[in-house]
């Protein structure tokens, strides 16, 4: 063999060894699928969640990862579309081989993903969606850390008397989240002898809600219960103010991002009230002040606006929940992670994360019960009820 050929062979072998080493290192990561809306109507919220998830992953990896391996977030955009959300789930499972997922922000998106979880037996931690159907339809691979609208409505019950509501109209987004919220809150209000008036719906891409708001203005209700994402809610508040509506406005779903409302809706946001599951404005009043302050510090360090914290914490707690389960499982295996999720027990940024069973016997989903806060926007500031 000539010296030249020998050198070429050595270089080739070195390249092969380098490739094998890199492949081996890549194989050592534990993949977690992240299925969120990064474009479309819910893009702002989905991006906040993903950025929160990245903080959790970096924190875990800085402490040595899990089971001797780093975790790797495989992030995909479901484009705020249910069909796309289901396709993303299948891709994450079949191509990326993730043993567990987090997603998919909106209730319609999550409901579209759920058949894929059943088909492939892959667990998913639901970080945001609130439709009651998600945990009552018989899917044992669902573990939700956000409150369903039924739980949110139940926790709203002791707050109702303080608001003096006598009759409420609803204005909700036309999807499973909005319709489910109107149904659950409607039942809760009726149980307190509060009358239900109009139930108006708006398409998720709608920009003009003046027709629905005009009907509501003409009604004899004293309160408007609103369910939609922050982008559309901003428009609702502005248009309600322009129409001279002075009724109480209470939003549900914990996805309102009050700081963003203050910034974008201005004075139109003043007086509005919002049910939320995280109170970053008052970190020392949260269930784990040390974790809250760490998370908020990281959020600020990365240059993100404080306003995103009310959404981003969901991604942070979602990944921490999955990591807790993987550690308990002792391996990155879907079946073992599913079983371990039932044993998860730690304090998240908005309360204890521990799953109780919901749904038909033998096919129960897991539901955690976070804290609920009522906040009000007054003089362009967030005020915590009772503070």
**Which pLDDT tens digit goes with each residue over 308-335?**
999 999 999 999 999 999 999 999 999 9
SS3 77: strand
Place of tokens 């901003």: 234
How far apart CA 71 and CA 85 sit, in angstroms, is 23
How far apart CA 87 and CA 69 sit, in angstroms, is 28
Partners of 195 in beta bridges: 167
With 60 as the cut, is the pLDDT of residue 5 above it?
Answer: no
Task: Please tell me the pTM assigned to this model.
Answer: 0.84
Q: What is the pLDDT of residue 254?
A: 63
> Is residue 104 reached through a cis peptide bond, with omega within 30 degrees of 0 on the bond before it?
yes
The pLDDT of 180-208, averaged and rounded, is: 95
With bands split at pLDDT 50, 70 and 90, how would you rate the model's confidence at 87? very high
Classify residue 148 as left (phi > 0), alpha (psi -120 to 50) or beta.
Answer: beta
Sheet with strand 167-173: strands edge to edge: 195-202, 167-173, 223-227, 248-251, 273-276, 373-378, 381-384
Q: What is the pLDDT of residue 130?
A: 87
Strand locations in the chain (E): 30-36, 71-77, 101-103, 124-126, 142-144, 167-173, 195-202, 223-227, 248-251, 273-276, 346-348, 351-353, 356-358, 365-367, 373-378, 381-384
Distance of CA 361 to CAs 133, 149, 209, 367, Å?
15, 21, 42, 14
- Is residue 87 within 8 A of residue 109, CB to CB? The reply is no
- Phi, psi for 101 (deg, rounded to 5): -135, 165
The pLDDT of 282-301, averaged and rounded, is: 96
**Which pLDDT tens digit goes with each residue over 329-359?**
999 999 999 999 999 999 999 999 999 999 9
Q: What is the pLDDT of residue 386?
A: 58
**Which pLDDT tens digit goes with each residue over 111-143?**
999 999 999 999 999 999 988 899 999 999 999
With 60 as the cut, is the pLDDT of residue 205 above it?
Answer: yes
Mean pLDDT rounded to a whole number for the chain: 91
With 60 as the cut, is the pLDDT of residue 367 above it?
Answer: yes
- Is residue 314 within 8 A of residue 253, CB to CB? The reply is no
Centre a 10 Å sphere on the Cβ of residue 132 and count the other Cβ atoms it contains.
Answer: 21
Q: What is the pLDDT of residue 204?
A: 85
How far apart CA 337 and CA 347 sit, in angstroms, is 19
Tokens representing 226? 């609103």
Q: What is the pLDDT of residue 26?
A: 43
Tokens representing 137? 């339809």
How far apart CA 236 and CA 216 sit, in angstroms, is 12
- Is residue 317 within 8 A of residue 347, CB to CB? The reply is no
> Across 172-181, 313-322, 373-382, which has the greatest mean pLDDT?
313-322
**Which pLDDT tens digit goes with each residue over 214-246?**
999 999 999 999 999 888 999 999 999 999 999
Chain mean position to CA 125: 10
More confident residue, 60 or 21: 60
With bands split at pLDDT 50, 70 and 90, how would you rate the model's confidence at 12? very low
Smallest CA-to-CA distance from 277 within 304, 255, 250 is with: 255
Q: What is the pLDDT of residue 176?
A: 86
Smallest CA-to-CA distance from 172 within 260, 252, 79 is with: 252
């Amino acid at each position: 063999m000539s010296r030249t050929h020998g050198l070429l062979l050595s270089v080739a072998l070195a390249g092969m060894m380098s490739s094998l080493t890199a492949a081996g290192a890549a194989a050592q990561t534990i993949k977690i699928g992240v299925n969120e809306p990064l474009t479309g109507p819910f893009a702002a919220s989905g991006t906040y969640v993903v950025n929160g998830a990245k903080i959790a992953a970096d924190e875990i990896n800085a402490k040595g990862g899990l089971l001797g391996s780093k975790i790797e977030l495989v992030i995909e955009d479901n484009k705020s579309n249910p069909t796309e959300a289901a396709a993303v789930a299948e891709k994450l499972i079949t191509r990326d081989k993730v043993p567990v997922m987090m997603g998919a922000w909106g209730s319609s998106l999550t409901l579209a993903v759920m058949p894929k979880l059943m088909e492939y037996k892959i667990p998913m931690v639901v970080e945001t969606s609130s439709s009651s159907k998600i945990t009552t339809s018989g899917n044992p691979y669902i573990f939700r850390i956000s409150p369903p609208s039924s739980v949110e409505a139940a926790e709203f019950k002791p707050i109702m008397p303080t608001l003096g509501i006598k009759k409420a109209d609803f204005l909700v987004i036309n999807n499973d989240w909005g319709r489910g919220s109107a149904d659950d809150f409607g039942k809760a209000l009726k149980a307190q002898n509060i009358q239900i008036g109009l139930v108006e719906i708006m398409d998720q891409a709608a920009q003009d809600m003046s027709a629905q708001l005009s009907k509501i203005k003409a009604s004899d209700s004293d309160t408007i219960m609103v369910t939609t994402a922050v982008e559309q809610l901003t428009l609702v508040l502005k248009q309600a103010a322009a129409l001279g509506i002075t009724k109480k406005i209470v939003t549900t779903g914990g996805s309102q991002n009050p700081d963003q409302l203050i910034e974008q809706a201005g004075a139109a946001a003043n007086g509005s009230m919002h049910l939320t599951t995280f109170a970053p404005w008052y970190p020392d009043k949260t269930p784990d002040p040390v974790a809250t302050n760490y998370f908020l510090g990281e959020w600020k360090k990365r240059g993100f606006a404080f306003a995103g914290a009310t959404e981003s914490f969901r991604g942070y707690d979602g990944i921490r929940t999955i990591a807790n389960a993987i550690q308990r499982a002792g391996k990155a295996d879907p079946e073992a992670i599913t079983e371990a999720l039932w044993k998860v027990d730690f304090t998240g940024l908005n309360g204890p994360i521990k799953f109780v069973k919901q749904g038909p016997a033998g096919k129960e989903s897991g539901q955690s019960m976070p804290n609920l806060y009522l906040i009000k926007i007054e003089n362009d500031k967030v005020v915590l009820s009772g503070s």
